[in-house]
Each structure stands twice: as C-alpha cells, then as structure tokens.
Structure 1
Amino acid sequence: MLSADRAPKRTVLVLTLGGTIAMTRAASAPGVTPTLSGSDLVAAVPGLQSAAEVRVEDFRQMPGASLATGDIVDLVERLGRAERECLDGVVVTQGTDTLEETSYLTDLYYSGAMPVVFTGAMRNAASAGADGPANLLAAVQTAGSAEARGAGVLVVLGDEIHAARHVRKLHTTSPGAFGSPNTGPLGHVAEGSARFHRLPKPIGRLPLPTGALPQVEIVTASLGSSGTLLKGLENEVSGLVVAAFGVGHVPESWCSRLEALAAAMPVVLASRISAGPVLTSTYGFAGSESDLLARGLIGAGTLDPYKARLLLTALLAADTPRPEIARAFLDRS
C-alpha cells in the first residue's frame, strides 16, 4: 500500500462561471466585474497543485445574478462528460448571489457519483482578506476526497462542507455567509482533508430537460398584502410557490384566490422563514397551513421558497403527475 505522501494525486477539474471570486476592478467600470480566468484563480492559490492535479476550464464568465437555468442544464451535461473522463471530482466556482440555487438545481439533475463541489467568495480578488483562494483550495480538497463520492452535490465555503439541498446564504457581506439552518454542515476541511461528520441521504434525480423549462414564480406574504399579485397568474405561469408567514400562513383574503390557482396548477406552500418546516395540522383558521393544504396546496416541508421553486420547475418539466409532485416534496426536503 502506498503511503499518503506517495499515493497518486487525485485529478480535479475546476469549472469557472465567474462571480465575485473572479472579480477585480477594471478601469472602464465603476466597480468590480468578472475579469479573472480559471487559470488566474488557480495560480493565486498556494498549495493547490500539491492538493490535486488541477485542470481548469472557463465555462462561463458572468455575475451569479445573470446565470440562468439553461446554464445549469449545460453544466450538468458537462459534469456527465467529466464523469466519463474518469475525473476524481469537479469544483464549480461562481457568484454567491445564486449559489444556493444553482447547486441545488445541479443536485436535482446530476446522477453521477463523482464529487461535485460548488464554491465562491464573498470578497473580490482585489480586496484585503479575499476569501476566494482559501475557499477554492478547500473545495478542491473536498472534491478529491473519496468519502465525498456519492454524497450528492456539495457546497464548501469557510472550510465548512454543506449539502446543496440544505445550504442557504444568510448574510449579504460576511465571509461566513453560508450555513445550513435546519441541519448544520456535513463536515469541515482541516489540515488539508475533508472530514465528514455525516453524509446526506440519497435523493432520486430527475431527468435533464430537453427544452425550455416551465415558468414558476414566487409570491411572498407580507403584512397587509391584498394578494393582488395573485391575479391572473393561471394565464401566466405553470406553477406557483407561496412564501408564507411562519409555519405556512397567509392573509385570509388570499384563500379563495389560492384555492382557484391550486385547481389550475400546482401551488406549493413554503415558509419565508430561513429555517424550520411548513406544518400540516397545528393551526385551523382560514389561511392557516391546514386550511391551505385542504384547499389543494402542496406543502414544501423544510425546503425554502427558492429551492421549492426549482424542484417544482424540474418536476413540471418531467411531466410529473400531480400526486407524485406532493410525494416528491416529502422525499426531497
């Protein structure tokens, strides 16, 4: 048996999509923009090449806010080719604005066992204390870990390892912005190794879409809202997610409109709170969770509205029957 220092290096592909991790200030722009290539990112990380044999591919170069679902479908197809190329793992670098959503959508579609790890940065590459290099190193170390194989899509920032299905961005500027409020991290990176405390249960993957994805939108409940944004949605979207108060409550004035929408399309009841589940039977007033579920809405479990929207979109794209949509939310939350 080879010793650890003589074992063959793992081969990790870094796919760059842009984002803050690749941003510097250009003379022609008022602020930072994505300017660094993947090779630039890799060259800025001390010790990276000793962690793995790193290959780099510039896949996109844009802010996280400009990524679209089509970009992620293309990414999943590239991940499939990477698996067939017998790579040991893939790291995806991108903007943190949408990282919790893109990683989750990838997790819904990627069916391989090869580790896939998303990372990014909260501080741009030109700022003091830029966190991108450390995050990229920890992500590569995790992607090259044999224990990460088959664990689903992961997110690594601040030396914490999170499951894509649970991770949330919880702060606008802090380097410690990401967490998993319902579960905590899966593990940590220390002394150059990914150390898992537990592994997530596997979830069934969905077929990759071949055409345009159906349109699903989110409507958020707020104090005194009349629900006017619900008007006419049955003619505009294929599905709806309600970001409700607390454990799944909306104003009473919303009830009849939501019931009519639920008769026309799948309407998912999620919570606008960043942690905790939507309940099913605790409250009984008009607009409560039990009332809305009785009116045909589908509970999101512990999924936040943003991930619930992506799951509903993927299920609709796969022509999933209505009863199976409800079961899918139970299985994947």
Structure 2
Amino acid sequence: MSVALFALGGTIAMAGTGSGGVVTRLTAADLTAAVPLLADTPLDVRDVDAVPSAALTYPRILDVVDAAGAAVVAGATGVVVTQGTDTLEETAYLADLVWRHPAPLVVTGAMRNPTLAGPDGPANLLAAVRVAAAPAARDLGVLVALNDEVHAARYVRKTHSTSTATFASPNAGPLGHLVEGQVRLLTRPTRHEPLPPVDRDRLAGTRVALHTVTLDDDVALLDAVADGRDGLVVAGFGVGHVPPAFAPALGALAERIPVVLTSRTGAGAVLRNTYGAVGSETDLQRRGLVNGGLLDPYKAKVLLRLLLAGGADRAQVRAAFHRHG
C-alpha cells in the first residue's frame, strides 16, 4: 500500500525570507519530514512546480493528473497533491472532471504557513495521505482534505480568506471526517463519468469569459468581456437574475456562443421556471442561456472550457450542465 505525493508549492510549502515575507521553499521531502506519523505509509514523493496556485494553469494541472494516473497504474493506492489554496477549488474540480481511476486523488494545502504558530499544513497532509490510502475513499473521484474534513471536489468552495476552516461544501456538506486518525465517510455521492481526454492544443485555443453581475451594472461590459471568447459564464443575482437591459444582450450573445447562467451567491441553485420578469431565469433560458444548476461560476467556467475544447456542440453543452449541475 503506497501513496504518490505530488508537491506543487503554495502556503503549505512556504518559508520565511528574512525580509518580512514568505516564499515557496519547502520540498515534498521537507513536507513529509515534518509529519512523523507519515512514516507508517510508504510514499512516492515527487516535486512538481514550486509556485503559488495563482500561477497554475489548466495544462499544468492536466499534466499532474496524467502523472497521478500513471502512478496509480504503476501500483499506487492513491494520490495526494499539495498546492496553494487560492485556486484549489478550481484545480480540484478540473482534475475531477477528467480523473478516471477508482483510486482517490486527494488535494490539500494550508492556510497558515510554517513560520506562524499552529501551521495547519502538517495535519492537512497527514489527513490527505490517510484519505488517499483508505479503501472507503475509492470510487469517489477527486477529494479535498483540509481541517480534518473530506470534501468532494465538485462541491467544495473556499469561503474565507484566512480561516483554517475556509473549505466548505455549502450545498452538500463534507463527505466525512478524520476521527482519531481514521477516515470516516458518511455519504457517497454518485460519481459522474469523466470527460474525454483533453486535446491540449484545442484547450489552448479555447477561451471562456466570466462576468459577475452587479447593481446598476454596465451592459456594454458584456460585449467587451465576451469579445473573442468561445463561451461566457454569467454570475447572476440570487437564483439567476440580471438587470432587464442585460437580457437582450445576453440573448444576442447566446446566439453566437454558449452562455451559462449561474448564481453569484456561493450556494444554492439557479432556478428554472419560478420568476417570469425580463432578466429572470425563465426569461434568460427562453433566450438561449444554459442553466448552470448548482455549479458556482468558477466551476461552471472550468466545465464549459473543457467541453468546448472537446468539441461539444450546444446540445452537448446543455446536456453536460444538466448532468453536472
């Protein structure tokens, strides 16, 4: 029973510079050495990109997924990826959409760097390794383990800028917990079929924009943000509403490119047929927008880009969001 560990940098791997800031300096070996209890689990430790998570890209994450899959084929029981938390909810979901192995891939990080009192990185790493090695975690796709909680990548959100309890799944709750060092999973959501392998060249040429609607917003921004893009995600008010002036503009865009309607609230679904005013969810769907369901805007952007890079047509995009959202 072995676990492959891929270290990508981020707060969990940062150390002081002596000039008032912290930078990524700790290697994967350094991280494991700080957790003596990891000696109980054979680890295949690999350093990847020692960069903040804001510097990560879709191709780099897909490269890590490919390497993780190869490790599983070679015999690893599970995989752990350490990275910064800034983009963790997006990278974990990206990985989940294409991860096709029964073995768990577990993403973790830290909110308190090792120069601070009570850094959470060692505990999070230990929890992630234990989840990756747990038979109960198989067939659940990509998981996120922090603060002794286990979350499904498709539900998890970063909800606070500094709290160690920042990662939560507002629509579903955690799948389980670490209790006295044991992985206790309380629920098992149905796993979606992974998307087809991604053509990196097509991915590089596929661009998706995101616009968050605000009070008294400028409708002219829509054309600017969507110009030259292959798709657009709109984060609307509440259950999926926009100012009335936005409705015809979004309808016109939806005739050219897929436009996905999501909610900016952080939890809850876009409704389908409750409100009927101009700019309501019913009106926007009538104009051709795709209902994003429970997906938050950031995950909807990830899914839409992968679908378009895979050559999905409008009907396939709509069906995929109905399935994943």
TM-score by length of 2: 0.97
2:323 aligned with 1:331? yes
From 141, 147, 150, give the equivalent of 2:136.
147
Structure 2 residue 12 is matched with structure 1 residue 12: no
Residue 32 of structure 2: aligned partner: 42
Q: 1:186 aligns with which of 165, 170, 175?
A: 175
Distance 1:283 1:119 in 2: 40
Return the offset for 1:46.
2.6
Q: Aligned equivalents of 2:244 and 2:127: distance in 1? A: 48
- Match of residue 52 from structure 2: 63
Partner residue in 2 for 1:277: 269
CA shift for structure 1 position 30: 4.4
Deviations 1:170-195 (A, max 9, x none): 00000000000000000001122111
CA RMSD of aligned residues (A): 1.1
- Secondary structure of residue in 2 paired with 1:231: helix
Matches within 5 A, 1:248-259: 248-259=240-251
Write the deviation string for residues 131-159 of structure 1: whole angstroms up to 9, x where unpaired.
00000000000000011111110000000
1:224 to 216, 240, 247: 216
Moved over 6 A (4+): none
What are the superposed Cα offsets for residues 238-291 of structure 1, whole Å, 9 maximum, x if unpaired?
A: 000000000000001111110111000000000001110000100000000000
Secondary structure, counterpart of 1:33 in structure 2: strand
SS of structure 2 residue aligned to 1:264: coil
**What is the DSSP-based 3-state SS (H/G/I as helix, E as strand, rest coil) of the residue aligned with 1:18?**
coil
- Count, aligned residues: 322
Which consecutive residues of structure 2, in runs of 5 or more, have no partner in the other structure? none
In structure 1, the gaps of 5 or more residues are 1-9
Structure 2 contact 10–52 (Cα < 8 Å) conserved: yes
User: Which AA in structure 2 matches 1:209?
Assistant: V
Mapping 1:243-322, distance limit 5 Å: 243-322=235-314
Contact 1:226 1:253 in 2 (8 A): no
Deviates more, 1:199-208 or 1:269-278: 199-208
Query: How much identity, in percent, do the aligned residues show?
Result: 49
Aligned to 2:81: 92
The whole-number CA distance in structure 2 between the counterparts of 1:157 and 1:234 is 36
Alpha-carbon distance in structure 2 between the residues aligned to 1:234 and 1:132? 39
Q: 1:20 Cα deviation (Å)?
A: 0.4
Q: Which amino acid aligns with 1:127?
A: L
Task: Find the aligned partners of 1:113 and 1:30 in 2 and give their Cα distance.
Answer: 44
Partner of 1:7: none
Measure the CA separation in 1 of the matches of 2:311 and 2:225: 20
Q: 1:227 to 1:89 in 2, by over 3 A?
A: same
How far has the Cα of 1:115 moved from its partner?
1.0
**1:135 pairs with one of 115, 121, 124:** 124
| Deviation for aligned residue 1:234 | 5.1
